[in-house]
Chains A and B, each alone.
Chain A
Amino acid sequence: MGSPFTIAVKDVCKRFPDGTLALEGVNAEVRAAEFVSLVGPSGCGKSTLLRILAGLEPISSGQVTVGGFAPGTPQARAEMAFVFQEPTLLPWRTVLHNVALPLELRGVGSQERLARAQEVLGLVGLSARAGAFPRALSGGMKMRVSIARALITQPKILLMDEPFGALDELTRQRLGDELLSIKQATGATVVFVTHNMFEAVYLSQRILVMTPHPGRVAEVLEVPVAYPRTPEFRASETYGKLVYQVLSVLEGGPAVPPKPDEVQA
């Protein structure tokens, strides 16, 4: 905590080579150690925005800084990790060697990186499967390995692109809880892309609701409930109202809460 690492996005436009305007006039800020979700339907540019933060996609105009640096610079990359929609594991490597890959690419010695890999595997509850090959794992386990791999460099910023999109609901909720405890333990900043508003409300401190054609941030909603979040949170009035608000923005209306005095948007 108290780390200076923040993300700032100012007046960003992104036009694809085919002329599609993916993002227009996007402004956003993420504070250090904050959990922010980007929510919206497909085509709203949420994944594009995340990929811009990772430096995987150039912007057409505007300004972006990640931890004070331009995205894609070695300094910015050193402080972040990206979790893809798919587990993106190397099928010819065991779980342990998959997790150790980022350190291997950075030239960390074999003994040290494998020890670190073992450590982060413990963090996601997969120590027992270190020697398994990815094809022997379930979808949820593969995603845990992918998250462990992201954690091994001790990133200050975690960028996650619909990481739980392909999982069944129970696994999704369980991994969400695990992600929150990892976030609490490491103090990392998390930017989380999802199309699932329930997931966004449950996990985030702040939600950027995005709408398509062209992609823009339509509304920013605070979730005024402290961590740790419990299953009871899902049954609370605040939770329901927030989901309702996200929905009404996505349907083109204003973020009108059922009772305007209870939730500050």
Chain B
Amino acid sequence: MTQSSPMETPPTGNQALSKASRLARWGREALPVVLAFLVFVGLWQLGIVIFKPKPFIVPGPVDVGQAFLEHGASLWESTLITLRATAIAFVLSALIGAAVSFLLTSVPILYRAVFPFTVVFQSVPVIVFVPLLLTWFGIGLPSIIAVAVIISVFPIIANTAIGLRSTEASLKQLFQLYGASSWQTLFKLRLPAALPYFFTGLRIAAGAAVIGVVVGEYMAGMASTRGGLGFLVVESASRLQMAKLAATGVCAAALGIGFFLLVGYVSNLFLRSWHESARGDQER
């Protein structure tokens, strides 16, 4: 009884990979991406050199680079403004999303009645809401945040609700057999079990929040004097500064990727030790 069997060794060794093999893996995964990017930029510049289009029709990589140097200060300022709005919208979405999904799954009738509408609501193009929101909240940060919340809250609601509903039946029975209170079942079983789903929702929401803020700024920006990246889009487009427009796009993309990576990192911190979705060295 006391001897543990030699036959059963854990199936996954979780010793860290050596530095060399980690570097090799990084090279294997990142190198093709870097090469593809360089080839793309090279072909782009080549096309510019051969066909010589007007810069306000097709800007070349060099033009975009120059735009970064020339408008660096305003790009940076706008990126910070967009970053701030995105952060606020993202936190609001996370709170609202968690609360709504919890409410929906706690009351089965509510879930059945309301959940389909969240899907319907989600398929309405966000542009439709913008004029409404601008009328309600005025031109400014509240409207922009509202647009971003509208498109980023639904992935959180949908994923978290699924997570809260898909607690394994046998685990619920286990808790039932030990006479667990509903609070105990909630905090020790349902919430932790839903956490990976919540983080999946957050990851999708991170990208969506950036898009929402830029769209909101774009719509609101037409009337304001200074603002975020969406406003820069309006401004450079109206002045036919296509290189600056492209540079703005690069900033927005960088912001989206940064947010996505940040959420992924936090999610990994929480789930690393136990969930399959967490990227760990054990997995590959």
Closest to B8 in A: A138
Contact A137 B10 (CB under 8 A): yes
B131-175, CB under 8 A of A: which get 1 and which 0? 000000000000000000000000000000000000010110111
Q: Does A68 contact B (CB under 8 A)?
A: no
Residues of B within 8 A of A86 (CB): 170
A-B contact pairs, 23 of them (CB 8 A): A54-B177, A77-B178, A77-B179, A82-B173, A84-B170, A84-B173, A84-B174, A88-B168, A88-B174, A90-B188, A90-B192, A91-B274, A92-B275, A104-B188, A105-B179, A105-B180, A105-B188, A123-B2, A128-B4, A132-B10, A136-B11, A141-B8, A171-B8
Smallest CB-CB separation from B276: which chain A residue?
A: A135
- A140 part of interface (Cβ distance < 8 Å): yes
Tell whether B3 is near chain A: CB-to-CB under 8 Å.
Answer: yes
Whether B1 lies near A181 (C-beta < 8 A) is yes
Give B11-60 interface residues, CB cut-off 8 Å to A.
Answer: 11-12, 14
Report if B9 contacts A (CB, 8 A): yes
Are A125 and B11 in touch, CB under 8 angstroms?
no
Q: A54-B177, A56-B176, A125-B2 are in contact. List 6 more A-B contacts (CB 8 A).
A: A77-B178, A88-B170, A88-B174, A102-B178, A122-B2, A141-B8
Chain B residues within 8 Å of A, Cβ to Cβ: 1-5, 7-12, 14, 168, 170-171, 173-180, 184, 188-189, 192, 195, 273-276
Given contacts A82-B177, A90-B192, A178-B1, contact A105 B8 (CB under 8 A): no
A178: chain B residues within 8 A (beta carbon): 1
A85 cross-chain contacts in B, Cβ below 8 A: 170
- Once the chains are docked, how many angstroms separate the CA of A54 from the CA of B176? 10
Evaluate contact between B5 and A90: CB separation under 8 angstroms: no
The answer to the question of A259 belonging to the interface, with a C-beta cut-off of 8 Å to chain B, is no
Q: Does A69 contact B (CB under 8 A)?
A: no
Contacts of B4 in A (CB 8 A): 125-126, 128
Please state if A136 and B12 are interface contacts (CB–CB under 8 Å): yes
Query: Given A90-B189, A136-B14, A138-B10 in contact, is the A171-B171 Cβ separation under 8 Å?
Result: no
**A149-177 contact mask (Cβ, 8 Å, vs B): 1 or 0:** 00001000000000000000011001000
Q: Does A36 interact with chain B (Cβ within 8 Å)?
A: no
Return chain A residues, CB-CB under 8 Å to B188: 90, 101, 104-105
Chain A residues positioned under 8 Å from B174 (CB to CB): 82, 84, 88
Q: Which residues from chain A contact B3 at a C-beta distance below 8 Å?
A: 125
In the bound assembly, the distance between CA atoms of A218 and B168 in angstroms comes to 34
Which chain B residues lie closer than 8 Å to A56 at the CB level? 173, 176-177
Report the bound CA distance from A85 to B12 in whole Å.
23
Chain B residues with Cβ under 8 A from A182's Cβ?
Answer: 1
Chain A residues with Cβ under 8 A from B10's Cβ?
A: 132, 136-138, 141
Shortest C-beta distance, B174 to chain A (Å), equals: 5
User: Which chain B residues border A104 with CB–CB below 8 Å?
Assistant: 188
B9 and A91: CB pair below 8 A? no
Residues on B with beta carbons closer than 8 Å to the beta carbon of A126: 4
Q: CA A110 – CA B12 in complex, angstroms?
A: 30
Q: Is the CB of A133 within 8 A of B177?
A: no
